[in-house]
Amino acid sequence: MSEHNLINQIKNLIFDTENITWIGSADGKLAMSWEEFDCRFSQINHDPEDAKQELAIDLVIVMKDHSWYERNLNDGGWIHKRIPYLAINHRPFKYVSESDSPNGSWPWSTLEELNEVEEVTQ
């Protein structure tokens, strides 16, 4: 078991912790400031490779820009997530699955990859 200090792990992940708005549960029912969290949990060590056992599975770090970090339950690392915004030049799409796209089938396709089709004109 490789133990890491939780606070040091977060500081290494987020260099400027002043950009943290709050830390708590993903549903927002439990929350505290970074300062409170840092003080309260400064002695917590955990094994990031045992993500499902060590820390609360819904622990999130919410940033001032409304992005957040959540834990990857497969490897224990932190994933940075952002709220999707609608692009000014957005367009509709025809395909949503690998099985209906003429581009064929490959794992982990994005909507853009599935819909990159040149229309055949006659």
- Asked if residues 38 and 7 have their Cβ atoms less than 8 Å apart, the reply is yes
User: For 68-119, how does the pLDDT look when each residue is reduced to its tens digit (9 = 90+)?
Assistant: 999 887 777 889 999 888 889 998 888 777 777 777 666 667 888 888 866 5
**Using an 8 Å Cβ cutoff, are 20 and 34 in contact?**
yes
Query: Where are the domains positioned within the chain?
Result: 4-81, 86-122
The reported pLDDT for the residue numbered 113 is 81
For residue 37, give both structure tokens. 């969290």
Residue 98: exposure state from Cβ atoms within 10 A (0-12, 13-18, ≥19):
middle
pTM reported for the whole predicted model: 0.73
What CA–CA distances, in Å, run from 46 to 5, 35, 66, 75?
6, 20, 27, 13
